[in-house]
Amino acid sequence: MNKIITQVKREVWESSGIFYKAPLLLFAIILVFSAISLYSLHAEHLGDVNFHWSNKWHSEGEQANATEGHQSVQEMAADKLIGVQYIIYFIFGVICLFNTIIYSLGALIGDRRDRSILFFKSLPLSEWQVVITKLLLCAFTLPLIYWLCAFLTVLAYSGGAVAFGTSTLDLSGSELWQQMRVLPSAAAGFVKLWFTGLWALPLISALLLVSAWAKRSPFGILVAVFVGIWLFEKWFLGTGYLVETLAAYLSGLYVGDHISFVAGDGQAGLRGIGAFVVRPGLYLGLAVSCVFVYGAVWLRDRRFEI
Amino acid sequence: MSAVIQAANINKRYGRHKVLDNINLEINSGKIVGLIGPNGAGKTTLLQSLLGLGVASGDINVLGEDPRRARSKMLEQVCFIADTATLPRWMKVSQAIEYVAGIHPRFDQALAERLLTKTQIKRTSKIRELSKGMVTQLHLALVMAVDAKLLVLDEPTLGLDIIYRRTFYDALLNDYYDGDRTILITTHQVEEIEHLLTDVVFINDGKIVLNESIESFENQFVKLKTGPESVAQARALKPVSESRTLSGHEFIFENVPRERLASLGELALASLAEVFVAKVAPTVSAGAHEESGHE
């Protein structure tokens, strides 16, 4: 276990940009922009609120109309505040996806390029341990880190939004917090990331295999292999299985339709998990992943020199 | 004395080229063995095969393990420095120590730190900021802090200046070697390790051409310095090499009794380098012989 923890540390030291600098930077940037947007929203609504407040001394009928107008402004603002958290999760998700691809493609070529593989291979650590650690980091740890940063960002943003809503829009703080559903959304994201990681294992294994195989530019090789198979299929077989399979597989990465925790309905969540685990593609993907990982280990054991 | 390395009938090919040709090698504990050969002789391939870093056919046993099946377990008792500057350049010195401490069960972190205090290396430095000599010092400190039974060094001082080379071997001999550990070294700088070795193995074209203890080597090979008057008699005794010097001729003899040579001139110990050249470059020697024969 100590070896695996040390190996994880090594990965974090080596790819610190991907593991913590990028999410922390994103955290800081989003908070700054959130603060700016809340301030803008504040300036935008200040006139309306003052207008409604000034109507308090008008007749009862006029006050009722004004209150209605006030509520509609509140709802619009609340919608904006609530919607932003999903944008935050989306931004973190996209950056996590890009960084996972970059990390996977570089994971098994970097030490071969600078020959430090000879140092790592001089230590009592098997290639299985190396490759599987990298695979699990890509599939689960990176998404977990990005989810955590996204959650903290949303939490900080939501705190600001509630403060803004109560102070500027005269909203009830507890109601706004409930409407934002910060914790249920985070919990749903937390559960989904494990299933997404599980579904993504064959894709990440394929990237690791390319990384172990390539002598240079793994991304170029990946694209060349894909385009080569696609053209071969198109020209000689007249089929498009590769693209269709890949599209079907990639669409499966979105597990939101199957697993829903946002509603707080435990039964629905369990049904979603049940639907996910009976997907035949999951097991086919795991089998493919095993083959790719074996291939990557085989290459690392036998053809590691560039 | 138990065998640390046992290799029998080791063969390896790259396409049609036979890199290792039926190698048989046994190295006992407590030995410091020099594996010496010209470029492309198969030294690194042999070391890699012994360490499970390359696949070769034959029987290999290192400290009771087959490195092809149990490399990770074997490496708990074996240290390995392949070439200079293979430490990851992105790592900090402190991270390198922490990493080896986490991976290697027989690593003494305090000893590594102590060894580093004898150098100019700062713990906070990145390896890419260190000179090549410093990287080698760091690597040696990491290796010396491991309680290993076998240390394998593949051209460990390549590209280093004379001071770092001397420091490296001094540290190896004085601070590391305790008489029980086994060290296997490959190098081009034969003369620098000559005084360290207990055994020597010459390899050429994938074959072992000499495998002797230094004691036996010194008995087996002798250098004769002679003048022109004894050249013909010396050649009649079939030297393994002959060369001309300013003062006359020098011959290297293998397994020729010293009493037969003593009357022909001055006898001296043949150095490893001289015998190496004689054994692994027969065409050069033959050329020299032929040339001197025409004179």
DSSP string computed for B129-170: GS-HHHHHHHHHHHHHTB--SEEEEESTTTT--HHHHHHHHH
Give the residue from chain A lying closest to B56, CA to CA: A302
Q: Is residue A63 over pLDDT 70? A: no
Taking the CA atoms of A20, A26, A32 and A35 in sequence, report the sign of the dihedral they define: negative
For residue A55, what is the DSSP state? G
Q: What is the pLDDT of residue B184?
A: 94
Confidence of residue A44 (pLDDT cuts 50, 70, 90): low
- Please give the distance of CA B287 from its chain centroid, rounded to a whole number: 27
Mutation for A interface: B48, B90, B107, most A CBs within 10 A: B90
For chains A and B, CB pairs below 8 A equal: 75
- Report yes or no: B33 and B199 within 8 Å, Cβ to Cβ: yes
Average pLDDT over residues A149-169: 87
**pLDDT score at B289:** 45
Residue of B53, B55, B99 with shortest CB distance to A6: B99
> Where residue B162 falls among pLDDT bands split at 50, 70, 90?
confident
> Is pLDDT above 50 for A54?
no
Q: Do A6 and B103 touch (CB under 8 A)?
A: yes
The CA-based dihedral angle spanning residues B230, B233, B237, B240, taken in that order and rounded to the nearest 10 degrees: 40
The first and second tokens of residue A187, run together, are 């919990």
Query: Measured between alpha carbons, how far apart are the two ends of chain A, in Å?
Result: 31
Judged by DSSP in three states, B65 sits in strand
Q: Which residue has the higher pLDDT, B124 or A162?
A: B124
Query: Which of B92, B99, B109, B140 has the highest number of chain A CBs within 10 A, making it the mutation to test binding with A?
Result: B99
CA distances from A6 to A12, B77, B84, B148 (A): 10, 19, 24, 20
Strand-pair category, B221-226 with B248-254: antiparallel
Q: Is the pLDDT of residue A2 over 90?
A: no
Nearest-CA distance from B204 to chain A in Å?
A: 23
Q: Answer whether A122 sits within 8 Å of B79, measured CB to CB.
A: yes
Q: Which of B276, B3, B32, B54 is nearest to B152 (CA)?
A: B32
Tell me which residue in B71, B102, B104 faces A5 most closely, judged by beta carbons: B102
Contact B55 A5 (CB under 8 A): no
Q: How many CA atoms lie within 13 A of B59 on its CB side?
A: 6
Q: Per-residue confidence at A59, pLDDT binned at 50, 70, 90?
A: very low
Say which range, A37-51, B214-228, B264-278, has the weakest mean pLDDT: A37-51
pLDDT digits (tens, 9 = 90+) for B166-175: 888 888 888 8
**pLDDT attached to residue B288:** 44
At which residue do the structure tokens 């594996």 appear?
B35
* Of the partner residues B72, B86, B103, the one whose CB lies closest to the CB of residue A116: B86
Express each pLDDT in A119-140 by its tens digit: 999 999 999 999 999 999 999 9
Q: Degrees (nearest 5) of the Cα angle A170, A171, A175?
A: 160
* Cβ B254 vs Cβ B231: under 8 Å: no
For helices B109-117 and B132-144, the axis angle rounded to 10 degrees is: 140
- Give the pLDDT mean for B14-30: 90
Q: Do A124 and B73 touch (CB under 8 A)?
A: yes
When CB atoms are compared, the residue of A9, A14, A118 closest to B86 is A118
Q: Kindly report the CA angle at A226 between A224 and A229, in degrees rounded to 5?
A: 105
Q: Which amino acid is at B213?
A: S
Q: Could you read off the pLDDT of A212-253 as tens digits, one per residue? A: 999 989 999 999 999 999 999 999 988 888 899 888 888 887
A207: Cα separation from own chain's centroid:
18
Q: Which of B75, B85, B90 sits opposite A123 (nearest CB)?
A: B75
Three-state helix/strand/coil letters over B211-242: EEEHHHHHHHEEEEEECHHHHHHHHHCCCCEE
| A125 contacts B103? CB cut-off 8 A | yes
Q: What are phi and psi of B94, to 5 degrees?
A: -60, -35
Between B74, B86, B101, which is nearest A119 by CB? B86
**Confidence at A72, pLDDT banded by 50, 70, 90:** low
Measured between CA atoms, the residue of chain A closest to residue B51 is A122
Residues 6+ apart with CB under 8 A from A58: A66
Between A290 and B242, whose confidence is greater? A290
* Mean pLDDT of chain A, nearest integer: 84
Report the distance separating Cα A52 and Cα A38, nearest Å: 20
Instruction: State the Cα–Cα distance between residues A219 and A210, nearest whole angstrom.
Output: 8
* Residues A170, A49: Cα–Cα separation, whole Å: 8
Question: In this complex, do A115 and B83 lie within 8 Å of one another by their Cβ atoms?
Answer: yes
**Does the CB of A126 have a partner CB in chain B at under 8 Å?**
yes
Q: How far apart are CA B174 and CA A209, in angstroms?
A: 45
Contact A202, A292 (CB under 8 A): yes
Distance from CA of A200 to the nearest CA of B (A): 29
Look at the block and give the residue holding tokens 């198979």. Answer: A229
User: Hey, is A63 helix, strand or coil?
Assistant: helix
For residues A109 and A218, the answer to whether their CB atoms sit within 8 Å is: yes
Find, among A175, A146, A186, A148, the residue nearest to A81 by Cα: A175
Task: Find chain B residues with C-beta within 8 A of A10's C-beta.
Answer: 95, 99
Test A114 with B88 for CB contact under 8 angstroms: yes
- Sheet containing B182-186: give its strands across: B78-82, B150-154, B182-186, B32-36, B199-204, B207-213
The CA distance from B290 to B51, in Å, is: 42
A118 and chain B in contact, CB less than 8 A: yes
When pLDDT is cut at 50, 70 and 90, the band that residue A47 belongs to is: low
Q: Chain B: give the shortest CA distance to residue A306, in Å.
A: 14
Residue A111 has pLDDT above 70, yes or no: yes
Task: Look at residue A12 and tell me whether its pLDDT is greater than 90.
Answer: yes
Half-sphere exposure of B212 (CA within 13 A, CB side): 16
The closest CB to that of B82, out of A122, A123, A126, belongs to A122
% of chain B surpassing 70 pLDDT:
94
User: Does position B179 have pLDDT exceeding 90, yes or no?
Assistant: no
pLDDT in tens, B245-292: 887 889 999 988 888 888 888 888 888 888 888 887 654 444 444 444
Residue B223 pLDDT exceeds 80: yes
Average pLDDT over chain B reads: 86
State whether A124 and B99 contact (CB < 8 Å): no
Q: What percent of chain B has pLDDT over 90?
A: 38
d(CA A301, CA A288): 20
pLDDT in tens, A166-208: 887 777 778 878 877 888 888 888 988 998 999 999 999 999 9
Mark out the alpha helices in chain A (DSSP H runs).
2-14, 16, 22-54, 60-107, 110-113, 117-120, 127-136, 142-168, 173-180, 182-213, 218-232, 241-251, 266-277, 280-302
Best of A2, A111, A116, A119 to disrupt the B interface (most B CBs within 10 Å) is A119
Interchain proximity A118–B82, CB inside 8 Å: yes
